[in-house]
């Protein structure tokens, strides 16, 4: 996807990605205003949120990026101020928006932050979908190369001009999944201000992102072989699952057993991460015995990984269905 500068404004090269991400943010801010206004949110709360959401999202996202690449940041802290260079971290941006919501709730009278978060949850999912889709402009979010000409078209694949081949457009799948989350949240009948929509957004996004991050071919936000966003996703999904399990009121032993099941599923994911790189002995023996091609090997490893993630998803949704929610 072409991201060549369109024009220069005040010494800054304006690219299609920049324009589209700003347009997406503006649309989501407008939707936030409309939905909060309909929900009877006080004017002062509206104003504080609309003024703070974007600046805090940018600041927290850049700080998150700086933490991921901490050695480089310590060598040159000023690089974080170069907003048009390097990158951003999506979870950092989400934290910034959440902080803006908390400050806006504090500014209003009788407004709970959880109520704001629940109102904004579907819109946040839309913004995530836009951010993921637009990654194609900056060369992020693609997956494995494919030699099947039948798949060489967008939105299934994108052309990698550097390697002169086609790669699966994972960012499109991530965007579609985020859109599905938005639809689920809009149709949710959760009690107002319970925080359930917020928890559901975090869980649905984070638990599948564990798998998506493994499929990404880029080395963005990566420390060694560890993808930071994958690790953060696993932690966030685990926290939400634990909250739901505690709310079921089934007792400490049941909570521990089911959370241990989640950790075991994460262990399967981790095992498959090593298996993809042919670093698991007994799986390597099976690979040689079955004479698997590289494609078959990848499909087996990522298929098992997907099954583990879907099992974790089912575990969480079952816990949520039994959790006690109070308005």
C-alpha–C-alpha distance, residues 158 and 136, integer Å: 8
Exposure string of 91-109, with b = 16+ CB inside 10 Å and e = fewer, is bbbbbbbbbbbbbbbebbe
C-alpha–C-alpha distance, residues 130 and 196, integer Å: 23
Nearest to 230 by CA among 27, 33, 91: 91
Residue carrying structure tokens 């109520």: 115
Contact yes or no for 60/99 (Cβ under 8 A): yes
Q: Using DSSP, state whether 279 is helix, strand or coil.
A: coil
Contact yes or no for 105/111 (Cβ under 8 A): yes
Residue carrying structure tokens 């996807």: 1
pLDDT at 72: 77
pLDDT at 86: 65
pTM over 0.95: no
Contact yes or no for 176/212 (Cβ under 8 A): no
pLDDT at 185: 96
Nearest to 317 by CA among 231, 199, 209, 174: 199
Strands 226-227 and 222-223: antiparallel
C-alpha–C-alpha distance, residues 242 and 199, integer Å: 11
- Residues 6 or more apart from 141 whose CB is under 8 A from it? 132, 135, 169, 170, 171, 174, 216, 218
pLDDT at 85: 67
Inter-CA distances, 284 with 175, 246, 267, 304, Å: 34, 40, 18, 15
Q: Using DSSP, state whether 225 is helix, strand or coil.
A: coil
Contact yes or no for 141/169 (Cβ under 8 A): yes
Dihedral class, residue 193 (left if φ above 0, else alpha if ψ from -120 to 50, else beta)? left
The single-letter DSSP state of residue 190 is P
Contact yes or no for 45/107 (Cβ under 8 A): yes
Question: What are the phi and psi torsion angles at 226 (to 5°)?
Answer: -95, 125
> Domain residue spans in the chain?
10-138+165-187
Mean pLDDT by 10 residues, the chain (327 residues): 70 79 94 93 94 94 86 79 75 95 89 92 96 86 85 88 86 96 93 88 97 84 76 96 92 94 96 82 71 78 95 97 71
CB-CB neighbours of 12 under 10 Å: 12
């Amino acid at each position: 996807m072409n991201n060549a500068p369109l024009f220069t404004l005040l010494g800054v090269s304006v690219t299609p990605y920049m324009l589209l991400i700003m347009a997406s943010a503006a649309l989501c801010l407008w939707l936030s205003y409309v939905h909060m206004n309909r929900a009877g949110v006080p004017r002062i709360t509206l104003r504080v949120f609309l003024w703070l959401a974007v600046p805090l999202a940018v600041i927290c996202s850049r700080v998150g990026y700086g933490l991921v690449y901490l050695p480089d940041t310590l060598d040159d802290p000023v690089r974080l101020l170069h907003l048009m260079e390097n990158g951003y971290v999506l979870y950092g941006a989400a934290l910034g928006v959440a902080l803006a919501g908390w400050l806006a709730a504090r500014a209003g009278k009788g407004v709970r932050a959880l109520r704001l978060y629940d109102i904004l949850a579907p819109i946040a999912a839309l913004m995530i979908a836009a951010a993921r889709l637009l990654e194609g402009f900056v060369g992020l979010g693609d997956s494995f190369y494919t030699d099947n000409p039948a798949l060489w078209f967008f939105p299934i694949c994108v052309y990698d001009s550097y390697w002169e081949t086609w790669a699966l457009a994972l960012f499109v799948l991530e965007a579609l999944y985020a859109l599905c989350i938005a639809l689920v949240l809009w149709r949710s009948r959760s009690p107002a201000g319970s925080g359930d929509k917020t928890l559901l957004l975090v869980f649905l996004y984070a638990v599948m992102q564990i798998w998506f991050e493994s499929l990404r071919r880029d080395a963005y936000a990566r420390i060694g072989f560890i993808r930071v966003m994958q690790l953060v996703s696993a932690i966030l999904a685990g926290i939400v699952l634990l909250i739901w399990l505690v709310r079921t009121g089934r007792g400490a032993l049941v909570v521990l057993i089911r959370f241990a099941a989640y950790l075991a599923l994460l262990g399967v994911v981790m095992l498959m991460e090593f298996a993809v790189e042919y670093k698991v002995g007994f799986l390597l023996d099976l690979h040689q015995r079955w004479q698997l091609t590289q494609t078959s090997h990848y499909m087996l490893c990522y298929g098992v990984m997907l099954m583990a993630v879907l099992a974790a998803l089912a575990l969480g949704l079952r816990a949520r269905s039994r959790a006690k929610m109070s308005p």
